[in-house]
Amino acid sequence: MQPVRLASEKLIDVIVIACPGQGSQTPGFLSDWIEDADSRAFLEAASEASGVDLLRHGTESDADTIRATEIAQPLIVAASILSWRALAARADLSQVGVAGHSVGEFAAAAAAQVMSETDAMRLVGVRGRAMAEAAAAEQTGMSAVVGGVEADVLAAIEAAGLTPANRNGGGQIVAAGSLAGLASLGENAPRGARVIQLQVAGAFHTSYMASAVPVLAETAATTEVSNPTHKLWSNADGGLVTEGTSFRDSLVSQIANPVRWDACMDSFQAAGITGLIELTPAGALTGIAKRGLKGIPAVAVKTPADLEAAVQLLTDAA
């Protein structure tokens, strides 16, 4: 695959930095990161901005605690920004592209300088609390459908009265909605597909989250934004973001609308992607990339020890 020519006329490979979404966190995953004084200081500031004790939850809290929406979302975004900062201190990131999956778009917004890190953390704190409240209003959930023919999977989701909330690519679609509908889908799985119940609090990215939208919109309206300094793809439709204000609006509306990570990966390929780096807490998006971006090298930055491999991928591309 040929590298693309940027405006600077410098030929480089296209490296995408991916920011993961909810569900990637594991107990104690920030323990190694806080050994660095600058990282600890950032997490302290991010805790104040988000209203969540990120140091405690990232190092001491158990799996059930950090699964809570109001904790998980700020924790994940802070971790991604933290690892972006650490990578930027070791390598030139001026030419990379950026994208976020679901709540990961807030970390992507900070990385692409659409908004400040402080504002990204402030907004995601509001988002997490608003979505947790919406999820508590009615018992709903999500299940991953892995494998099968896409058309058959979408038809089965619709027949169960559910929404394809995350179309992740690589043979994975996440259905969301009522618990009865999810049970029906599990009992009538499409041919060749597995239905896996996800440990989440509600039907995210569906109409069940509608009450959270105006809550975030009110806070977002007072947030200063700029146009992105990096290539930035939106998981609303996989398109490139050109205006900060439109992306801010998308961050609000995405709460109740599906995530199209499959469209993002299509756009990465169209742009000539030759490598993907997933920020902390990593693993989910690199796993999808193995199936949806076959042959593209990927690095999951789970701990500071993984930064060396990420730098090497960037160095090889320069």
Q: Which helix or strand (DSSP H or E) is residue 196 part of?
A: strand 193-197
Rounded Cα gap, residues 124 and 71, in angstroms: 10
Rounded Cα gap, residues 246 and 102, in angstroms: 16
Tell which residue, 106, 99, 90, 93, has the closest CA to residue 46. Answer: 106
198 CB neighbour count, 10 Å cutoff? 16
Tell which residue, 254, 260, 166, 163, has the closest CA to residue 210. Answer: 254
Active site residue 205: yes
- Of these residues, 102, 143, 234, 267, which one is catalytic? 102
Active site residue 24: no
Triad 206, 212, 186: Cα angle to 5° = 30
- Of these residues, 205, 230, 250, 267, which one is catalytic? 205
Contact 274, 296 (CB under 8 A): yes
Q: What Rg do the C-alpha atoms of the chain give, in angstroms?
A: 19
The residues, any chain, with a CB within 8 Å of residue 48's CB and separated by 6 or more, are none
Triad 72, 73, 74: Cα angle to 5° = 100
Provide the annotated active-site residues. Answer: 102, 205
